[in-house]
Amino acid sequence: MKNKQPDWLRAVGVASSAGFTLFSCIGLGVFLGYQGDLYFDTSPWGVMIGGFLGSIAGFYSIYIQIAGRE
């Protein structure tokens, strides 16, 4: 017999996973951009580009997570 979780519990799990994924992708992008700024001495550009690329990666990852659960 398969143990089936309630729908609301599954929805909460997907939402929290999506939030953590987006937060971690943007955080990693900003961190790498900051390190690039320190190395190349390009003051705000690395952080802005890193945050932008991190948000794109985060939203793409969320799309893959949600589309794969159908």
Does residue 10 lie in a domain region? no
Would the pLDDT of 58 be above 70?
yes
Does residue 26 lie in a domain region? yes
Does residue 45 lie in a domain region? yes
In total, how many domains does the chain have? 1
Residue 2's pLDDT band (cuts 50, 70, 90)? low
Give this prediction's pTM. Answer: 0.84
Does residue 63 lie in a domain region? yes
Provide the token pair at 10: 């599954």
Determine the pLDDT at residue 5: 74
Range of the domain at 51: 21-67
Does residue 15 lie in a domain region? no
- From 15, 22, 18, select the one nearest 55 (Cα to Cα): 22
